[in-house]
Structure 1
Amino acid sequence: MFRTALRNVLAHKARLLMTVLAVLLGVAFVSGTLVFTDTISKAYQKSSEKGFDTVDVAVRPHDKNDDATPGDPPRLSQRLLDRVSAVPGAGTVTGTVAGYTAVADKDGDLLGNGFSSTGGNYYPAKNGKDPRYDLGSGRAPVTAAEVALDSRTADRGDYRVGDTVRLSTDGPVRQKKVVGIFTTDDGNVAAGGTLTLFDNATAQKLFTGSGQYDQIDIRAAAGTSQATLKAGVDKLLPARAEAVTGKKLADDQAKDIKAGMSGLQTGLLVFAGIALFVSIFIIANTFTMLVAQRTRELALMRAVGASRRQVTRSVLIEATVVGSVAAVTGLLAGIGLGAALRSLLGVTGSTVPDGPLIVSSTTVLAALVVGVVVTVLAAWLPGRRAAKIPPIAAMSSVHTAPSGRGLVVRNTIGAILAGGGVALVLAGTGMSSGDAKAPMGLGAGALVIGVFVLTPLLSRPMIAASAPVLRVFGIAGKLARQNAVRNPRRTAATASALMIGLTLITGLTVIAGSVQKSIDEMAAGSLRSDYVVSLGAIGATGLSPDVEKTLKRTDGVTATSTQRTSPALVDGDTTALTGVDGDTIGQMISVDFSSGSLSEVTGNNIVVDDDTAQDNNWHAGSKVPVTFEDGARKQFTVAGVYEGNSLLDGIVIDSAVLSAHMADVTDNKVMVKTEDGPNQATKDALQKALGDNPAINVQDKKDISNDIAKAITLLLNMLYGLLAMAVIVAVLGVINTLAMSVFERSREIGMLRAIGLDRKGIKRMVRLESLVISLFGAVLGLCLGAFFGWAAGELIAPSLPTYELVMPWGRLGLFLVLAAGVGMLAAVWPARRASKLNMLAAIKSE
């Protein structure tokens, strides 16, 4: 039986090649994902370990009682650094300062856009060098007019020692002289970010305050362990500070990197799973076809003594061989895919730390298990069916049609699954987003499986609806329709492969279009200002108040209003206060009030959004005790309750009152009203007034909407690209089904040729059959996708008051056209093969 199975594998190379390809794609995606994420994680981990080579113990601010005082714990003082330096066993002690610093290239464009843009201090030890950085050329900065750049940033910006660089830390543009270029193992720089070093005093002035540090790094003297050094440092620490070893810092960062990569890995593996799920239909169809082609052979084996188990085992051995080949080739392809994805990061401007390609034993095992197990499971049912065919019936070419009882059972199970799935999804739409995940996930899965089970039942009426169109093509169209419903189970399996891919694509498109429309309406309805000015890069902490002062002095500006936030304790709970100018904020933002107005935000009066008011049982006139981040306490009166939105929510307070208690006064954004409204000339004037700063965004309503649209479109395109693998696998499924159909109808095709249907008619018949099956799967996918898109929108709606369902009819029509194209493409080879059948040989075939 083993030799027979191997012979059968080699006897059907073309069709088995399609099966191998289908499994290979899924396995390649799984192994490629694991190789890619393992490689990147390991590279960052090694980089982080190098970054802590010079740190044995680090002292950092730490809030042991988060509810005691709002805001971050105080920074570390110079006095503490001096005391730590005197601890027995302490070698080199370095005070670190860090903050947001945007760097422009010589054309004025932002370097490292999309990644961390950081500034820090150069802290020289007794030998005059900072152990964290190796100056490759030039020297360290020693005055406020000087900086040093990391070598990657210098290369990207084409900077050399002696050049002048434009940079910004909180809005205003500063021009500095580049006096040094250094190398660093900082993972943020390796990822494409920038690092700019100032002298210690300047860095403190910009980021922490004079004589203060974000962290103190200590390198142990020879013969002193990290644990011993930490024990000595612990005795000197103030209440809101902690000491950690360098090993723990490296371990924590490695965990953070792993956690950060796990989301990407999970997302990619989900799409690999979808491709493998679709592959199951193709494998099942392929083995059904192979079993059908040698029904007599299997019957003869039964007649000479082979048992049902041996026949089933023979089919499963074939599946194991096919799965093993697919798994090995898929693993090799996945390794190449992982390397390609890493290279792609470089092409897109992203960089990662250097390191080898990681192919772990887990990756190899996962590829082999997935490839073999998926193939064997998919082939089990065809093998079992083949073993059940009576030998006499098989040798007489009598194929027993599915019993009516079997179809009733199948349709009943499908109806129960589909009905239960719909019920769970509908129940989930009435829950909160957190509680709805489980029922909606289970419901979606049950509904998809239920529709798949019911697809044979649905195929007849839906394909029959195409009769008026197919009638135009004459006898070829009529035959195509009849052929499509001749074996509804096989047609259902093929259509389901396309259905799954289009369900996901349609659902994502509906959600994205609806969210985009709601954001557009919110921007148009709630934002009254002509422009919003903000820092637009990652890591930015806030705008300097000088930005608003500059804008106020700019010609054509009639009003400005800032928004700033600060942590506070309100009724014992930590929350964020939003500071606004009550005199002008009403000109910038439109919000609906159930009582009061924005103009009442002044002095001791505050306004709160309806959710906050309901949670705390507040109303107009309620007294609210507040503890600011500096520890000061004050009682405020609720002057109004409003409906919160994405532009304004929470507790709103007079910005002048809030600023008096903020440790570092910065603005989240500045809203601007102008005489002439939004136009290019006004926008140019505002940008020029701000020094043509690449780190600052000056945006009108259209710009804000376009930014969001770009982000949504980019995400959608990435998802479309990942789902394309499922569509490719579905194409292979259509090819397999048509090839099987052509084989089963060889005698029929010969008879059609004999009575006058020419080769063009045969080709047209096969193409139309493929087109009908593909459009059947597409219609099911579009309907399910639209339903899931609506259901997900019901969960989004509470957090987006302007949300409304938008059906992207244009894109849905495009998906139908693409599905038709898939069907026509898949029919090329089977149609050509059918047209080339020798009519006499076909008529004589059994």
Structure 2
Amino acid sequence: MFRTALRNVLAHKARLLMTVLAVMLGVAFVSGTLVFTSTLSEAQQRSSEKGFTGVDVAVQPHRADRDSGTPGPAPRLRQDLLDKAAALPGVASATGSVGGFAAVADKKGELAGSGFTSAGANYYPGKDGKDARYPLVSGRAPQRAGEFALDEHTAAKTGYKVGDTVRVSVRGPVLEQKLTGVFTTDDGNVAAGGSLALFDTRTAQKLYAKPGQFDEITLKAAPGTSQTALKSAVEKILPRDTEAVTGQKLADDQARLISEGNSGMRTILLVFAGISLFVGIFIIANTFTMLVAQRTKELALLRAIGASRRQVTRSVLVEAFLVGLVAAVTGLVAGIGIGAGLRSLVSSMGGAVPDGPLVVPVSAVISSLAVGILVTMLAAWLPARRAAKIPPVAAMNSVHAVATPKSLVVRNTIGALLAAAGAGIAMAATDESGLGLGAGLLVIGVFVLTPLLSRPLIAAAGPVLRPFGMSGKLARQNAVRNPRRTAATASALMIGLTLITGLTVIAGSVQKAIDKMATDSIKADFVVVNASMTPLSPEVAKKLAKDPSVTASSPLRQGEARIGSGTEFLTGVNGGAIGDLVDLDFTAGSIAGLTGNKVVVDADTAKQHGWRAGSSFTATYEDGKKGKLTVSGVYKGNDMLKGIMVDNATLTPHLTDYSDQQVMVKTTSGDGDKAKDTLRKALGNNPALQIQSKQDISNEIAKVINLLLNMLYGLLAMAVIVAVLGVVNTLAMSVFERQQEIGMLRAIGLDRRGIKRMVRLESLIISLFGGVLGIGLGVFFGWAAGSQIGEKMATYELVLPWGRLGVFLLLAAAVGTLAALWPARRAARMNMLSAIKAD
């Protein structure tokens, strides 16, 4: 039986090619994902370990008791602690670090590098006058105010050289700095396309903290002193709200964070690989069903001469094993290439991929072989079992060809129950897991029902096919001749379009909700934010308030306060102007009373604390002082504005080191480009600041949504490609099955062009059938998911992107047209006499 299986595989190489390709693509997706993420993790961890080479113990700010202590961040480290730590026995060197955001302008005045990774820090020389973290390649280290050093990558990109004057922005103000040196660094942010500016320690402390303050102190142990021993010695001199951590623990924590971050990406990629493999199951099952049907008499003869049912089943499964093995091995090799290609692609796009060897983990090899073989054998098991159950005499007479009414009733009943259960669960779901379960059951139910649905839906295409004459009529009849085969072929395309449509509907609806939210809640003409989304210097708000074109402005400033047994963030605003800048929907009171000790609270926070208009509560501020606040209004919050709002005049005196999240501005000339240019000049043409109108905010969010959507489209494209292979495979084998019929059609007058048209139209009908089902299911899932989103986003409403839905339907038509090119050409070139004689 093994020799028989091997002979059948070799005899049907061409027919099994599409199956091999479908499995290979899915396996390549799996192995490529594992190779890429393993390579990325390994390189990042090596780079991270290199960054901790000179760190044996790190001292960091840490709140000892956040539940009962003073609210707010832990205080920074002081110079006296650095001096004490440096004097400890076993300490070879001690380094104090302080830093934050620093944007470097290029020679055109634009931001050099990515805003999210534009940083500044201090150059801390050791006993030898050098900072081992930042080896200089030219020039010297910064020594006084007005000087700075720049990383080599940014210097090369911008064309700056030692001695140039460069504009640098730190949290807001623009500084004219002289470039004194260029250095190299292992900082991952620089590798990701960011920039790093170094100042002398005193200047950095003035810019990012206060004189004599540090964000972190790192210690290098003297020879013979272990990290654990040094940590124990350091802990004896630590003040409250600080902690000591060994360099090994820092490296381990960083490795864990890297692993967790890449694990999320790996999971997402593997989900899409699983979708491709799931789609491939339909192709495999279809292929083996047709192969078994074509060999019915052969299998019956084997049964007649003594082969058992198990032997027949095993024979087909051995064929599947061999096909799966070939597909898995080729998929593994292709996946290794994909992993290497992804690393190069990410690097070329400016992504942070440290140098390192390509890693092919054992898990990639085992997973590829297991997935490829198991998926193929699983898909082939049902056709194999069906073939073994056919009695030899019935097989010889093809009695098995017609499905019994009982089997169809059972199938349709099961499909209807699954679809109804899935739709019900999806509509009633309150979380993602419930929606996922409902979606899975509904898709399976529709798949089971697809043979039943194919007849009425394909029949509806009759009027469209009528102008094509006999070719159109034959195409429609061929498409419903074998409903199960048509269903399996259409379902492969249906799954891909279901996901694509659902994601598109959700993304479009969310974007519309954000537009409405911005329009409804913000009256300000502009919102000024940092390019890195880090806090702004208070100087920005002061400059804007003094500009004659500004009629109203308010910084949004945050501070932490203890209220009752928990902590809440207070948002400080300009109480006198905020009413002109926001439009909040109040359920009680108004924003007019936001002065002194009066606050306004969003409805969710008010409900959580049991507050209403007129309620009072005590807040403990960051400086330890207490104040009594009164609720003057309750409003409906949203993702842009929510929480407890208090007048800055009340909040700011209690903040030791404050900054602004954003500044809202209203101007005399509205939100046009002219007003934006005026504000930009008032802020010194600062490259780090973004001046955004309501439309700019919406466009920025839309850009992120479209980027994510396009990435998902790219990942789902693999499933669509596999579906195309399925249509090609079905048509090719269908043409082979109908050789005699095609030969007879040619003999009675249907020309080659008519044969081609018949096959193409059949392919088009099947693809559009799958497309209609996929788009319909996708819209339903978009609606079901939207009902959950609407509970958290009041402005959410279902938006059907008719233009894109039309494009998806055209995509389904294009799939059918392209998939039919080779089978149609093959059918038309068939010799009619040879075809008629074919058995």
Q: What band does the TM-score fall into relative to the shorter chain? A: over 0.9
Which of 718, 721, 724 aligns to 1:725? It is 718
Conserved 8 A contact 2:116-2:531:
no
1:501 aligns with 2:496: yes
Note the residue ranges of structure 1 that are not aligned, 5 or more in a row: none
1:834 equivalent in alignment to 2:827: yes
Letter in 1 for 2:54: T
Query: Could you tell me whether the CA contact under 8 Å between 1:115 and 1:192 is conserved in 2?
Result: no
1:486 corresponds to which residue? Answer: 481
- Secondary structure in structure 1 of the residue aligned to 2:654: coil
Q: Give the deviation of 1:304 after TM superposition.
A: 2.1
Contact 1:500–1:781 (8 Å) recurs in 2: yes
Q: Taking structure 1 as reference, are residues 194 and 455 closer, same or farther at Cα in structure 2, changes over 3 Å only?
A: same
**1:652 counterpart residue number:** 645
Structure 1 CA distance for aligned equivalents of residues 299 and 492 of structure 2 = 29
Query: Does the 8 Å CA contact 1:327/1:371 hold for their aligned counterparts?
Result: yes
* One-letter amino acid matched to 2:436: G
Q: What is the alpha-carbon distance in structure 2 between the residues aligned to residue 303 and residue 648 of structure 1?
A: 78
C-alpha deviation, 1:716, in angstroms:
1.0
**Shift, 1:664, TM fit:** 1.8
Quote the residue 2:251 is aligned against. Answer: 250
**Which residue, out of 442, 459, 463, partners 2:458?**
463
The correspondence of residues 339-488 of structure 1 with structure 2, limited to 5 A, is 339-428=340-429, 431=430, 436-488=431-483
**Match status 1:530 vs 2:521:** no
Aligned to 1:58, the other structure's residue is in SS state strand
Shift of residue 398, structure 1, vs aligned partner:
4.4
Gaps of 5+ in 2: none
Instruction: Pick which of 402-411 and 779-788 moved more.
Output: 402-411
Structure 2 counterpart of 1:449, one-letter code: I
Describe the SS at the equivalent of 1:280: helix
- 2:599 is the counterpart of 1:606: yes
Q: Deviations over 1:300-331 (max 9, x none)?
A: 22222222211211111111111111111111
- Alpha-carbon distance between aligned partners in 1 of 2:653 and 2:592, rounded to the nearest angstrom: 20
Distance in 1 of aligned mates of 2:46 and 2:116: 20
Identity of aligned residues (%): 66
Query: How far, CA to CA, are the matches of 1:645 and 1:681 in structure 2?
Result: 30
* Cα shift readout 1:31-63 (whole Å, capped 9, x = no counterpart): 111111111111111011001100111111112
Tell me, what secondary structure is at the counterpart of 1:485?
helix
2:763 aligned to 770, 777, 784, which one? 770
Partner of 1:37: 37
What is the aligned partner in structure 1 of residue 802 from structure 2? 809
Matched, 1:271 2:264: no
Alpha-carbon displacement from aligned partner over 1:79-127 (angstroms, at most 9, x marks no partner): 1111111222111111111211112222222222154221111111111
Equivalents in 1 of 2:402, 2:145: separation in Å?
88
Counterpart of 1:627 in structure 2 is: 620
Deviation (angstroms), 1:438: 2.1
1:17 is aligned to 17
Give, in angstroms, the shift of residue 161 of structure 1.
Answer: 1.5
Whole-Å separation in 2 of the counterparts to 1:262 and 1:100: 29
Q: Which residue of 2 aligns with 1:4?
A: 4
Partners in 2 of 1:199 and 1:148 — Cα distance? 9
Moved more, 547-556 or 4-13: 547-556
Partner Cα separation in structure 2 for residue 489 and residue 230 of structure 1: 70
Query: Does the CA contact (< 8 Å) of 2:103 and 2:168 recur in 1?
Result: yes
Distance 1:411 1:110 in 2: 62
- Map of 1:333 onto structure 2: 334
How many angstroms apart in 1 are the aligned matches of 2:672 and 2:73? 41
Q: Which residue of 1 aligns with 2:704?
A: 711
Say if 1:324 and 1:371, in contact at 8 Å, map to a contact too.
yes
Normalised by the length of structure 2, the TM-score is 0.98
CA contact (8 A) 1:467 1:481 kept: yes
Task: Please say if 1:219 is aligned against 2:214.
Answer: no
Tell me the CA shift for residue 622 of structure 1: 0.7
Is the 1:625–1:634 Cα contact (8 Å) retained in structure 2?
A: yes
Secondary structure of the corresponding residue to residue 420 of structure 2:
helix
1:474 aligned counterpart, secondary structure: helix
**Offset of residue 397 of structure 1:** 4.4
Per-residue deviation at 1:451?
A: 0.8
Which residue type is aligned with residue 595 of structure 2?
Answer: T
Answer yes or no: is 1:231 the counterpart of 2:232: yes
- Does structure 1 conserve the Cα–Cα contact (< 8 Å) formed by 2:192 and 2:350? no
CA deviation string 1:214-233 (max 9, x = no partner): 11111100111111111111
Q: CA deviation at 1:710?
A: 1.2
Counterpart contact for 1:148–1:196, Cα < 8 Å: yes
- Amino acid of the structure 2 residue aligned with 1:427: A
* SS in structure 2 of the partner of residue 534 of structure 1: strand
Give the Cα–Cα distance (whole angstroms) in 2 for the partners of residues 19 and 149 of structure 1: 55
Would you say 1:517 and 2:512 are equivalent positions? yes
Counterpart check, 1:160 vs 2:161:
yes
Alignment-mate amino acid for residue 46 of structure 1: R
Matched, 1:52 2:49: no
* Deviates further, 553-562 or 82-91: 553-562
1:750 aligns with 2:743: yes
Cα distance between partner residues in 1 of 2:468 and 2:140: 81
Residue of structure 2 in register with 1:259 after alignment? 260
Report deviation, 1:183. 1.3
Distance 2:771 2:417 in 1: 23
- What aligned pairs does 1:54-69 form with structure 2 within 5 A after superposition? 54-67=54-67, 68-69=69-70
**Deviation (angstroms), 1:64:** 2.3
1:570 deviates by 1.4
Q: Is the 8 A contact 2:121 2:196 kept in 1?
A: yes
1:661 aligns with 2:654: yes
Distance 2:141 2:272 in 1: 49
Tell me if the contact between 1:192 and 1:352 (Cα under 8 Å) persists in the aligned partners: no
RMSD: 1.3
**How far is 1:844 from its partner?**
2.1
Question: 2 CA distance for matches of 1:473 and 1:57?
Answer: 80
State the alpha-carbon separation in 2 of the partners of residues 312 and 104 from structure 1: 71
Deviations 1:221-261 (A, max 9, x none): 01111111111111111121111111000000011111111
Query: Out of 582, 594, 599, which is 1:589 matched to?
Result: 582
Contact 2:189 2:352 in 1 (8 A): no
Native 8 Å contact 1:149 1:180 kept in 2: yes
For 2:31, the aligned partner's letter is S
Q: Equivalent residue for 1:575?
A: 568
Aligned residue identity for 1:529:
A
Q: Secondary structure at the match of 2:481?
A: coil
User: Matches of 2:268 and 2:103 in 1, distance apart?
Assistant: 31
Residue among 660, 665, 671 paired with 1:672 = 665
CA distance in 2: counterparts of 1:374 and 1:418, whole angstroms: 25
Contact kept in structure 1, 2:150 and 2:179, CA below 8 Å: yes
Deviation at residue 647 of structure 1 after TM alignment: 2.9
TM-superposed deviation, 1:187: 2.1
- Kindly state the Cα deviation for residue 824 of structure 1 after the two structures are TM-superposed: 0.7
How far apart, CA to CA, are the structure 2 residues paired with 1:689 and 1:639? 35
Give yes or no for contact 1:58–1:245 (8 Å, CA) kept in 2.
yes
Equivalent residues of 1:115, 1:191 under 8 A apart: no
Q: Deviations over 1:471-524 (max 9, x none)?
A: 121111111111111111111111110110000000011011111111111222
Aligned to 1:177: 178
TM-score, reference length from structure 1: 0.97
Instruction: Please say if residues 510 and 786 of structure 1, whose CA atoms lie closer than 8 Å, have aligned partners that are also in contact.
Output: yes
